[in-house]
Amino acid sequence: MHPTRERYAAGRGYLAACTMGLPADVTRAAVRRDLESWSIGAASGVDYSVIHDRARGHAATLLGRHASEIATGSQVSVFAGLVAASAPTGAEIVCVDGDFSSVVGPFLARGDLRVRHVPLAELAGAITDRTWLVSYSLVQSATGEVADAASIASAARAAGALVLVDTTQATGWMPTDSLDADVVICHAYKWLSAPRGAAFAAFSPRAIDELTPHAAGWYSGTDPWASCYGPELHLAADAQRFGVSPAWHAWVGAAAALELAASLDMTEVRSHDVGLANAFRERLGLGASDSAIVAWPDADGSALASLGAAGITASGRAGRARVAFHVWNDEEDVELTAGALGLGRRRATVSAPH
């Protein structure tokens, strides 16, 4: 059992951190205090800014960056959209075939970019001197596959290409503090267990210099409270220029959730989560993996239905059943899930996800 298990009000049979996390005690308390403060008219925009800045610092810790390299927003696709809007006409973007739409859609929507999709294992080799940007998720949402970030970064640097990485399915269960990337985007409502509506992104010096802050607003200045009115353009010199006005109530919960996550040893969390995932993979007859997500073919949805009938919260994606193991889970969850699928303690043969 992970030492933080008791901080969650629920968790038994909840295998859906890859869909939505569960709030820890500190997050629940912060949101309740905020609701009470707001309801009696004691909430303050200035106080929210202080909380937001604290959250920004914790986000920086999780990504291994300085707070000045972090911008905050609401969704992954918005940050990816800023990058897409900065791409020169005809630029080549290399993506993963079947990746989550938030890191693909903004580039396709332009209509004047050359977007190529390749299998994850071939991503590094697909980067050429013609590539302007490679955009991918560190952990694939549909399959749980973990990308070889070092090889991808090496190939991109050799070609002079920019690198965009979405860590929404990674940050919170594995270390993401040493990625070589120009833009690292994460939404905090999954493995980090923050309220939905709190996302953050790290920008390299090159990205800050070359990308245009198309969503510039009052929170894009060094001092947001002095950036409220025109006619001047108020832009921070650092990554805050890409930030947007924060959803205050979401960031109250996010500050508490990110502080807790930043205090954990992510190597230990990964060992716990992947250990449980591999124990379940063994029960399915699948080989060991380096992911906390387990996905297997379930075209007719029967496996997902069996899990739901047994009170197991799981998810289905791209014709697969999908479960995720996190800090609130333990070996009993492996047994319950295997039992729900009729596996018992016997190994079954299931074709590997592809």
Closest CA to 75 of 184, 228, 188: 188
Residues in the chain: 354
Q: Average per-residue pLDDT in the chain?
A: 95
Beta carbons within 10 angstroms of residue 50's beta carbon: 11
Question: Structure pTM?
Answer: 0.94
Same domain for 258 and 272? no
Same domain for 152 and 281? no
Would you state the structure tokens that stand for residue 224, as one six-digit string? Answer: 């947001």
Count of domains observed in the chain? 2
pLDDT of residue 345: 58
Reported as a single tens digit per residue, the pLDDT across 96-109 is 999 999 999 999 99
Reported as a single tens digit per residue, the pLDDT across 309-344 is 999 999 998 899 999 999 999 999 999 999 999 996
Residue 28 belongs to some domain of the structure: no
pLDDT of residue 344: 66
Q: Whole domain around residue 219: which residue ranges?
A: 44-263
Inter-residue contact 259 to 61 (CB < 8 Å): no
Same domain for 10 and 145? no
CATH of the domain at 91: 3.40.640.10
Last residue of a domain, one of 240, 263, 286: 263
The stretch 227-251 carries a mean pLDDT of 95
Reported as a single tens digit per residue, the pLDDT across 68-99 is 999 999 999 999 999 999 999 999 999 999 99
Same domain for 167 and 225? yes
Same domain for 154 and 300? no
Query: Angle at CA 255, nearest 5°, toward 149 and 185?
Result: 25
Residue 218 belongs to some domain of the structure: yes
Inter-residue contact 7 to 26 (CB < 8 Å): yes
Reported as a single tens digit per residue, the pLDDT across 3-26 is 899 999 999 999 999 999 999 999
Would you state the structure tokens that stand for residue 220, as one six-digit string? Answer: 């894009």
The stretch 178-185 carries a mean pLDDT of 98
pLDDT for 353 beyond 60: no
Residue 244 belongs to some domain of the structure: yes
Reported as a single tens digit per residue, the pLDDT across 134-167 is 999 999 999 999 999 999 999 999 999 999 999 9
Question: Using CA atoms, how far apart are residues 175 and 194, in angstroms rounded to an integer?
Answer: 18
Would you state the structure tokens that stand for residue 279, as one six-digit string? Answer: 């124990």
Q: CB under 8 Å to 256, separation ≥6 — which residues? A: 24, 26, 27, 29, 30
